[in-house]
Structure 1
């Protein structure tokens, strides 16, 4: 939870992929705050705590920003990942910075005291507005030593249509025991299935499997057999039925793979999304790239026309999203 009162606006949130093989739970002993959240991430053989931070003024009126009121009093666990929009300038992560933020010294001292490592590539910008002459570094990623050693391919994603760039990286957890971690079955898009092809492929797969073609040789189970299965006494019959189930599953998957396309795992589908929004988003990103290219060539005043085109395209895109959500 991030809220104390219904009137407070939450400014941090977390989405988890449906394909993520991990448990994610809020830390119940972490003080609720609309600008900071802490969650425990637990996989089969690697656990860590994630802190999501938006460094902003306190919505309840205290003079302390999020870093002062939530992070500086905090002692991190041994395995932790701290990231977010820190709104703090410092030469540590931005070597070209000439005016560090007033609270940067206290923040960097806390970082060192917690033995955190900066994952950002110093100088790689994460924030840009049309009136700025260069990118600023405000979105930061820190990790304790054991987590930092597992982070790979940290990078920024500028083409999202926001003044903040996206941050992407991977955490390479230790390998799991294949015996205790069975592979996830594929997910099929049955709405696009070729059922005639599926029936043909399934019949062929069953005919080619000795386990499935010799089912007539197995006598019907008696009540005693059923009881023995439930009590775990008849191991031979249990193993035989397991083999049949596995063979049938393999035949179905084989037929489905040949006749049904896979579902692309990703964010939860948006029922209001449509082709017009896709076209508007593509146009917005194209205008943004053109504007950034002109901005890199000279002063911001000379890129006015490209800035105007980008802002108009961005407005049209987000207004269309609002309309699509409202009309859905």
Structure 2
């Protein structure tokens, strides 16, 4: 059985699907009495990108443009749907994903250039749709904060989602923009059980700290929602009502959920984790997951991939609908205001200054 490495979620570091060579663990004959391997350290590398805003046409996502300040995520959430993206760089969606992090040092400048283009049409930009914008390396790079500062200068509306209390650091930007209808935030809470959170999301903020983040943001006036994502049948689904109630008491005014998705390499990584972290529940959890995916580990159909199908998925949906009504988290969301967008004078073409 593959066991946990301290502070990490994945139990293995198998090759990505695009690599020509394959890595495989094997017993080399060393014993527990031999010197332990060095701890796995996080490495941070610059990525020199040409653009910062990503576009998508997925009909079930809810936004058509996003910014992800980082590739890879040190939070190490075992269920993270972004893990397979590391394979595109010849790296493993396992331990590489949570220990080899990439950032864009020119993020703010790139964003200024894109927002200042004459043909740019303002729409909401979502921050953190793939990896967390407030993972631990943000304390060092301040990449996400630099992006928010550009958003503030241009009056560009944005939404943002995180699992980290570090988001409260930027309340000086989020608060004023939220009050002006230009920003909204979501904090993802998957469990109130600190032990489960530590095992499942080893370097993310504790559940209590995430509730604190909701409270601190709500106090500034920015609309805050709670994301119960992912719902994992047989593991955390029983906590739905408790999480929504706790978030509402902390100041959340809306809620969303997503049922666990296991595309590509994630299914094997998640099975490894289950067998090690929750062996007594592993068979039951995988059975329930397959019941939400038509008997398979995963069904990528856009019509149902976020929520699943079948009686188990329908029960989750019914419980969620009843709970958000009970706790007042079902009010219609007010669209962010795109009419306030403006290009600052110092970013306009020179001839325009004399027009």
TM over 0.5: no
Structure with higher Rg: it is: 1
TM-score (norm 2): 0.27
Q: Larger RCO: Structure 1 or Structure 2 (Cα < 8 Å, ≥ 6 residues apart)?
A: 2
TM-score (norm 1): 0.28
